[in-house]
Structure 1
Amino acid sequence: MVVLTAVDSRGPSLIEHQSSQRYFDSKFSREAVKILPGEFFVTTRDMLLVTVLGSCVAACIRDPERGIGGMNHFMLPDGGTEATSRSARYGGYAMELLVNELIKSGARRSALEAKVFGGGRVMASLSSANVGERNSSFVLDYLKQEGIPVLAQDLQDKHARKIYFFPRVGRVLVKKLARVNNDTLARREREYQERLARTDASGDIELFS
């Protein structure tokens, strides 16, 4: 596992790391990596990257000519409190980590393209603060400013989502979760939010190819 740490002079160290949760996905017959809140993963191989999103957002970014791609999973609430302002800075850092790791792995910045997902209104405690909407706006604004085109997006709405990203070919499958283990999803996102501060019944699968 590669651990990357950024030290913020205004608060504790903020840690983002490459996921180490590898497994073999029998449905798609390939090695897969599960990405949890606060994690990212970059690969040059023909793998599958998987995550489940509530109010968080995932950016799937790749160099289509070299077949190098990666995904992150982050939360970006912004607001007046210390916790939310700190995590707003963290969102930009999380995107920079993904882009920088792609370039270190051989991708060219000028060739990068993105597909973005998440920002759903699935947790009452976060819906009232429009966290998903702010996450969605942030990731689109960030990619626009960096000159990385967004080829597809599925943002906001009221559903959790399970994302399957095939970096080698750029295909993304999105499964809308009509019901999800909300306790698990809420706990993961709450723990991630707290860390920044100091199954399923599914709908149709959408293909973003």
Structure 2
Amino acid sequence: MYRKYDSKFKTQIMTIFAGEYYISTSREVISTVLGSCISVCLYDPVNRIGGMNHFMLPSGGQESLINSSGIDKEKLTEHSMRYGITAMEVLIGEMQKRGAERIHLKAKIFGGGKVINKNMTGTTVGDKNIGFARAYLKMEKIPIESENVGATWGRKIFFLTENNSVFVKKVDLEPAVEEERNYMRKLKSLKQKSDVTIF
């Protein structure tokens, strides 16, 4: 995650990567690049709070991160944030902590491209991610205002938290795929380090 001023938008842009999320209560732009991954942009128009996540897979069989006192920080790891179920629970929970109300939330969905083989038939990772995002939001009764998903290209998205608008730019899939590979390598490295017991 990093922040940089952009002369086109004339504001700061917060760029997030796989396994990350960002929430804003002011005029900002949140950006990311997507291949088969999904980003859900959530917005509370009444309290003017916007947030976006970036996840790689629907779920990983982990337990819920929400308990009676909020998000269980001990269960929240970089590894778990790659899963949609975690990314959605954390995004909604953190937005509520900043004043958003679930009843006002509206969503937009992006990503889920077919990145492995463009001619491949059957269900892809991108398809599963799209299906999860739709099903989760339906279950939580959060309306989907719009979506730009699937197809055989990558996307660079810019979420303007001030008014809930999103700009989508088609990009070559290779940079998005390489970013996803780098993230997976990073997770494997973290897992290997965590397997070492120091005593």
* TM-score (normalizing by structure 1): 0.74
Letter in 2 for 1:135: N
String of CA shifts for 1:2-60, please: whole Å, max 9, x gaps.
Answer: xxxxxxxxxxxxxxxxx3x0111111100110011111000101000111100000000
Matched with 1:173 is: 167
Letter in 2 for 1:115: K
Matched with 1:25 is: 6
Tell me how far 1:89 sits from its aligned partner: 8.7
Asked if the contact 2:27–2:162 (Cα under 8 Å) also holds between the matched residues in 1, the reply is: yes
| RMSD, matched Cα | 2.6
Tell me how far 1:88 sits from its aligned partner: 10
| Runs (5+) with no aligned partner, structure 1 | 1-18, 80-85, 199-209
State which of 97, 100, 112 in structure 2 corresponds to 1:119.
Answer: 112
> Matches of residues 10-49 of structure 1 in structure 2 within 5 Å?
19=1, 21-49=2-30
Letter in 1 for 2:106: E
> Matches of residues 76-115 of structure 1 in structure 2 within 5 Å?
76=57, 90-115=83-108
Compare relative contact order (CA 8 Å, sep 6+) and give the higher one, 1 or 2.
2
| Runs (5+) with no aligned partner, structure 2 | 61-78, 192-199
Distance 1:124 1:176 in 2: 18
* TM-score (normalizing by structure 2): 0.77
Task: Establish whether residue 151 from structure 1 lines up as the match of residue 145 from structure 2.
Answer: yes
Matched with 1:9 is: none
Asked if the contact 2:58–2:83 (Cα under 8 Å) also holds between the matched residues in 1, the reply is: no
Higher Rg of the two aligned structures: 2
Distance 2:93 2:103 in 1: 13
Asked if the contact 1:57–1:117 (Cα under 8 Å) also holds between the matched residues in 2, the reply is: yes
Distance 2:96 2:19 in 1: 20
- Bigger share in strand: 1
String of CA shifts for 1:137-177, please: whole Å, max 9, x gaps.
Answer: 00110000011000001111111001010112000011112
Distance 2:136 2:38 in 1: 13
Q: Quick one: percent identity of the two aligned structures?
A: 42
